[in-house]
């Protein structure tokens, strides 16, 4: 979300400049937008995340995720939604929807698939490097909580997590606040580009956030 801001007169002439979305490399033309909510079926079959999600559903381990989230809201029923997910190299996001309409995000760290001659998946963490991955997640949680408490920078609240190797869900995960909005890449794609005026607004917000964080 972009707030209004005042700009120096010398930048006025750039307000109508329009920055187009760069052309995608050819090898990405048939792939979904990885930063957007996407049906799992549309993701590449060689992605370890896709196999992980399907196994999570088949083994019904998502019920442990729902139980944990529900316990954090006085046993209010909820449902893990897998019709739309956001996938990354080692993490996948899925929504948790409560009976009262509130939505959270579950961030799951998925492992690599077992590799063999007929099955070579991409993405996921290696078990022999799991300790480093868990330390990274623990640091992210602490950073989110610290920045959220000490500044007005909009960061999602962390409601719960399980960073153990053998969690009931089958992977380390974080339950966090769902912040609706639109990423910069999505805005550029929707509009076909971004104006100089919007660039100034974005830079003004970034400067304000960096100024607060630099004091921590």
Both 204 and 111 in one domain: the answer is: no
On whether residue 2 sits in a domain, the answer given is yes
H helix and E strand count, the chain: 5, 7
Q: Is 57 helix (H, G, I), strand (E, B) or coil?
A: helix
Residue 98 has pLDDT above 70, yes or no: yes
The pLDDT confidence band at residue 8, using thresholds 50, 70 and 90, is low
Residue 166: the pLDDT is: 82
Query: Of the spans 17-21, 72-76, 203-207, which averages the highest pLDDT?
Result: 72-76
The pLDDT confidence band at residue 196, using thresholds 50, 70 and 90, is confident
The pLDDT confidence band at residue 113, using thresholds 50, 70 and 90, is confident
* pLDDT tens-digit series, residues 24-64: 556 456 665 656 888 998 888 888 889 999 999 999 999 99
Both 13 and 75 in one domain: the answer is: no
Residue 58: the pLDDT is: 95
- Give the chain's mean pLDDT: 85
Residue 109: the pLDDT is: 94
Query: What range does the domain containing 104 cover?
Result: 36-182
Residue 5 has pLDDT above 50, yes or no: no
Both 157 and 54 in one domain: the answer is: yes
Residue 15: the pLDDT is: 56
Can you tell me which residue has the tokens 């399907």? Answer: 54
The beta strand positions in the chain, using DSSP E, are 18-20, 78-87, 91-98, 103-109, 158-162, 173-177, 193-195
What is the rounded distance in angstroms from the CA atom of residue 56 to the CA atom of residue 37? 18
* Structural contact between residues 48 and 171, judged by C-beta atoms closer than 8 angstroms: no
We report the CATH number of the domain holding residue 93 as 3.30.200.20
pLDDT, average across residues 157-176: 93
Residue 2 has pLDDT above 50, yes or no: no
What is the rounded distance in angstroms from the CA atom of residue 192 to the CA atom of residue 20? 6
Can you tell me which residue has the tokens 């929707």? Answer: 190
* Structural contact between residues 44 and 121, judged by C-beta atoms closer than 8 angstroms: no
Both 60 and 48 in one domain: the answer is: yes
Both 103 and 117 in one domain: the answer is: yes
Both 59 and 18 in one domain: the answer is: no
Q: Degrees (nearest 5) of the Cα angle 128, 133, 139?
A: 150
Residue 1: the pLDDT is: 39
* DSSP secondary structure letter of residue 173: E
Query: Of the spans 123-132, 162-171, 206-215, which averages the highest pLDDT?
Result: 206-215
Both 68 and 123 in one domain: the answer is: yes
Residue 141: the pLDDT is: 96
What is the rounded distance in angstroms from the CA atom of residue 47 to the CA atom of residue 27? 15
On whether residue 188 sits in a domain, the answer given is no
On whether residue 156 sits in a domain, the answer given is yes
Can you tell me which residue has the tokens 């080692």? Answer: 90
Residue 25: the pLDDT is: 57
């Amino acid at each position: 979300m972009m707030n209004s801001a005042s700009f120096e007169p010398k930048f006025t002439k750039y307000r109508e400049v329009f920055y187009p979305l760069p052309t995608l490399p050819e090898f990405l033309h048939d792939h979904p937008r990885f930063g957007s909510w996407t049906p799992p079926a549309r993701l590449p079959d060689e992605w370890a995340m896709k196999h992980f999600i399907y196994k999570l559903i088949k083994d019904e381990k998502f019920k442990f995720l729902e139980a944990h989230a529900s316990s954090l809201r006085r046993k209010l029923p909820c449902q893990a939604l897998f019709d739309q997910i956001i996938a990354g190299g080692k993490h996948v996001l899925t929504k948790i929807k409560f009976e009262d309409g509130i939505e959270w995000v579950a961030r799951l760290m998925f492992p690599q698939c077992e590799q063999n001659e007929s099955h070579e998946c991409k993405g996921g963490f290696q078990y022999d490097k799991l300790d480093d991955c868990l330390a990274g997640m623990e640091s992210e949680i602490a950073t989110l909580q610290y920045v959220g408490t000490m500044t007005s920078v909009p960061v999602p609240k962390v409601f719960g997590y399980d960073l153990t190797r053998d969690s009931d869900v089958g992977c380390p995960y974080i339950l966090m606040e769902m912040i609706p909005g639109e990423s910069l890449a999505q805005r550029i794609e929707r509009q076909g580009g971004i104006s100089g005026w919007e660039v100034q607004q974005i830079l003004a917000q970034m400067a304000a956030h960096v100024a607060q964080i630099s004091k921590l």
